[in-house]
């Protein structure tokens, strides 16, 4: 039997770890309809980021 540990972290902490692991051009969105990066204001969090060196 496998045990999976999960944790709930804040959006700020998630963004910190994304940037710390080398991702750049991090953008956040609060809906699928968003066409520009926006502050996270609701329970939905969508993030796009780019890993340097990858096409």
Structural domains of the chain, count: 1
Tell me, yes or no, whether 5 lies in a domain.
no
Summarised one tens digit per residue, pLDDT across range 29-51 is 888 888 888 887 777 788 999 99
CA–CA distance, 52 with 42 (Å, rounded to integer):
29
Tokens 């609701």, located at residue: 42
pLDDT at 55: 57
Summarised one tens digit per residue, pLDDT across range 4-23 is 777 788 888 888 999 999 99
Question: Residue 35: which domain range?
Answer: 11-50
pTM of the full structure: 0.66
Tell me, yes or no, whether 39 lies in a domain.
yes
Tell me, yes or no, whether 42 lies in a domain.
yes
């Amino acid at each position: 039997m496998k045990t999976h540990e999960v944790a709930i972290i804040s959006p700020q902490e998630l963004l910190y770890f994304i940037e710390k692991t080398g991702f750049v051009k991090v953008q956040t969105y609060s809906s699928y309809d968003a066409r520009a990066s926006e502050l996270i204001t609701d329970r939905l969090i969508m993030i796009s980021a780019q890993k340097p060196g990858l096409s």
